[in-house]
Structure 1
Amino acid sequence: MERIEVITSVQRRRRYTGQEKAQFVAMTMQPGSSVSSVARQYGITPSLLFKWKKLMQDGGVTAVEANDQVVSVSDYNSLLKKVKQLEQMLGRKTVEAEILKDALEIAQTKKYISHMPLLPPDDTQHNK
């Protein structure tokens, strides 16, 4: 049985869930099946299906080698953005701490000077 899909919207791109992508890629790995035949059957460009297949294979190998989970590119980029923001905040706080340290040194120096005993003017010492 052949399936025909009628697109009635003006939407430029169709969006596929991760589950749908995995299902299409799994179909390409069935005996007697090919990327081109699955792509043709479901109205997907073969290059897109090849890309999904490569991403799944690379991600799976990476996860196995690292003994870790694979993170999506969008999550990775989001985390990189957050790290950059935190580094900028740390830089600002470091500058603030240096300014406060310098101000504290200046304040302590002035406090020390203001607590020194006042010496009488030079002419009062000579009068005694």
Structure 2
Amino acid sequence: MDEFTRIVGWLTRIGESEVLLSEISRNNRKAREVVDLLGKYGLINYQKKGRFQLVSLSHKGLEAYRHILAARRVIYGEEITPREPLASRLPERSSGPEMGIETSSELPSYLRDNPWLEVLASRSRGRVFG
């Protein structure tokens, strides 16, 4: 895979958020290689906060990322966010009586009105750089 393709892939993976170095790759050597490659072109901001190593796109990286999203819109005719799970882009499969699976749109009792769900959801959004 050529260098440009790798850069586009990593820019898409990082996106507009701030990610931990370990989220780039669990392999420390590979993560450092990615940081060095993107840093060589000034596409990322790298900082340490305590024991955490955080990576986010620089202004130049964000501009390149926006061009990548524009290219996606041209190709696919719509914007697909890089963090969107693949399952949400696939057509819905019908499950139900023919597969022997009972479907219900009601949440289980332990999830209904659970205040911790909001706390956990806000924690995952709290790392946005800005």
Aligning the two structures, in what range does the TM-score lie when normalised by the shorter sequence? under 0.3
Task: Report the TM-score, using the length of structure 1 for normalisation.
Answer: 0.25
Q: As a proportion of its length, which structure holds more helix?
A: 1
Task: Report the TM-score, using the length of structure 2 for normalisation.
Answer: 0.24
The higher radius of gyration belongs to 1
